[in-house]
Amino acid sequence: MVQQPAGPLAGLLVADFSRILAGPYATMLLADLGAQVIKVESPGGDDTRTWMPPVRDGVSTYYLGINRNKRSIALDLKDPDDVAAARELARRADVMIENFRPGGLARFGLDYDAVAAGNEQIVYASISGFGTGAGANFPGYDLMVQAISGLMSLTGDPDGSPYRAGISVFDVMAGMHANIGILAALHRRQETGRGQHVEVNLLSSALSGLVNHSSGYVAGGTVPYRMGNAHPSLFPYEPLPTADGELIVIAGNDGQFRKLCQVLGLPELPDDPRFLRNQDRTANRAELRPILVERLSKRGKDEWFRDLLAAGVPCAPINTIDGGVALAEELGLDPVVTTGGIPGVRNPITFSDTPARYELPPPGLDEHGEEIRAWLRS
């Protein structure tokens, strides 16, 4: 058998003191890329172990989805011996990541200052909900941040209630921001020999991730509003009805709009002064939309999808998750990997020389505790 090359982060030891989503998602991505991740849990285990349904063989699929390639040790930080083990792990680690309430680890000697005093190379990443200032005592739940940041005010029908996004989008985003910070700090460490404290909070990640909407306010003074599936700056860029259901149709520039009109049999439309440029189409969407809908109603969504895509017009069926996975498989993206008999979603990053690894299934609580304790004593 040909041995696979080590992952790009091989040799890094990550002490994972995080739980729920943002931190565990971040550390799973690091583990996929070769880092050795030791997941430190309380004796009761990560909260997501109990977040079910759905389940696989009695285990929460929520937990399974963000914890592969890790080893688990359960430590009770009220126990002096376990605190000593936690400190020794932090002393040996290249990276420590935690999402305790700000200041919560100080009483155990596991805050950044205490850990860095014994390990000046540590890259110590903290994920909080609202930072370490006046928001330090706010619970860090994604749904709170979706509400407070303004995202929910943008999600849903214009005349309906605000809606949360279908996933914990800012937890995921904060986890990725944390990894960017960790990797940047590791790069800096190569020059200085010293680590540093990397801090990420969900609200800052949210405001950054709201991109054009937050920029529209801070740079343009415009408070965006709920528009359903419509886009404030582009048209068409939304689901449009066909003969048998809706199809996402996108004209991101004038050339795409011209191609769209050619396929629809409306070659004169792009030269209409009302629709000449994107800003014209956006301003006159109430006039343009019925013209497009009337023509799309002549055929079904699958036929339009095939012909529009062939012409270079961005469009998409509105799938359920199974349809999304099936299309990824059809496109050769191999979205599903199996780790120790547990199916999971492939790491989204592809490397030409050092591919992601899928070696360890999500661990049982304290599955590797005895082994890790023996190593920490050695």
Helix (DSSP H) and strand (DSSP E) numbers for the chain: 14, 13
Give the integer Cα–Cα distance in Å for 235 and 284. 9
Q: To 10 degrees, the CA torsion angle through 1, 329, 172, 87?
A: -20
- What single string gives the DSSP state of each residue in 267-312? TTGGGSGGGSSHHHHHHTHHHHHHHHHHHHTTS-HHHHHHHHHHTT
The DSSP element (H or E) to which 178 belongs, if any, is helix 169-192
3-state secondary structure of 129: coil
Name, in order, each residue with C-beta under 8 angstroms of 361's C-beta and a sequence gap of 6 or more: 68, 339, 340, 341, 342
Sign of the CA dihedral with 153 first, then 158, 164, and 167 last: negative
- List the catalytic residue out of 46, 111, 171, 366: 171
The CA-atom distances, in angstroms, between 87 and each of 38, 42, 93, 307 are 13, 15, 10, 61
Distance of CA 343 to the CA centre of its chain: 19
Please report where in the chains the tokens 């399974």 appear, as a residue.
64
The answer to whether 271 is a known catalytic residue is no
Give the integer Cα–Cα distance in Å for 30 and 181. 12
Give the integer Cα–Cα distance in Å for 90 and 341. 31
Name, in order, each residue with C-beta under 8 angstroms of 144's C-beta and a sequence gap of 6 or more: 129, 138
State the catalytic residues.
Answer: 171
